[in-house]
Amino acid sequence: MEHSSKITAIACLLALMAGTVSMNAQQPTRSGLSPERFDSIMDGKHTGLFTITNQQGMEACITNYGARLVSLMWQGRDCVTGFDNVGDYRRFRQNYGATVGRYVGRIKGARFMLDGQEHRLQENGKGVTSHGGYPGFADHIWTVTSQTDSTLTLQYVSPDGENGFPGTLTVSLTYRLSSRNGLEIDYEATTDKPTVLNLTNHSFFNISGQMDREITSQELWVNSDSIATFDQQKNLNGRMMAVENTPFDFRTATLIGARIDDDHEQLKVTRGYDHSFILRNAGNDQQPAAIVTDKNSRTRMTVYTTEPVLHIYTGNGLKRNTRGKQGISYPRRSSICLEAMHLADSPNQPHFPSTVLRPGETFRSHTAYVFSNLTR
């Protein structure tokens, strides 16, 4: 009888401990997110919200639905757009914070040749494959493989033939909050057949934390002499354009809104910035690729990457028709995307940097968004 009582007491203690852990796990995050609003079953798999921090007080919240960055707290303010529940991420199908793949950008003709073989891809009704087709990496449930206080690693296995892409592709993604106050993103990928791959994170940043205001009054510097140009259908035409004497020249820090509505052919195609800047420091993540500065909040975000391109999008398509975190309906140009990637349509443009991945090779990519205060 005494033995039975001890077992009961231990069981009660374990249950209490489990309850305490569960209660703690459901406490709101520093950004005000409620983890239970991300606790769901989609496509037979569990979704959740995962929190990482650094010793300087930064916090990032990530959901395994699309391996998305949901919030990024810097000095008491959330610097990325998004939703406060997992259902809205699926409902609105915007790439807020998402990991986009297997191939970000447009592949013209929804086809490409590799080693003499044609691969026909899922077509979107406009003659192209966009962001890897649907469902893409942003629409799948990723598996969390490890987590520490400051890191979260997720994995997705894309089956051979998914949306027409060859090869079983295994992608591992690690989010880390570093001691330099950086959101560090590392990708690794392997394949069992020759394939093409172009991954990026599609977070919408407003480093002021004021998501109901435009980012046009913030300054932008980009380490780039040229951009890839579009045709009238917003497909890359295979050509580059020097930024000198154009609205795309950010080699000196310039207000984002200073020339965003200039009478320029490329701005007319996209109604603002939505272009791939060719980086002068391609492959070198020790030198800045871009810097965004908000003088009102005294905040700076510096982007570092090993990728050859930074695609910059100024939220031209936001229309206040989507209600996000804190009940804010995001207005036009209220955020900026700085997507480290390769060029779209590279499989059909031999003079673009190659995106081919072969068996036995490991694709690796690193991008960091590092926050700091203005000193003067």
Catalytic positions, written as ranges: 202, 339
Give the C-alpha separation, 201 to 63, whole Å: 13
With residues binned 3-state (H G I as helix, E B as strand, rest as coil), the percentages for the chain, rounded to 5, are: 15, 40, 45
- Show the tokens assigned to 279: 């980086």
| Non-local CB neighbours of 144 within 8 Å, separated by 6+ positions | 48, 50, 64, 152, 153, 154
Max CA-CA distance within the chain? 88
The 3-state DSSP class for residue 7 equals helix
Element (H, E) at 266: helix 265-270
What's phi and psi for 66, nearest 5 deg?
A: 75, 10
| Non-local CB neighbours of 193 within 8 Å, separated by 6+ positions | 160, 166, 167, 168, 359
DSSP characters over 203-216: --B-TTS-TTS-ST
Give the C-alpha separation, 266 to 228, whole Å: 10
Closest CA to 368 of 232, 214, 184: 184
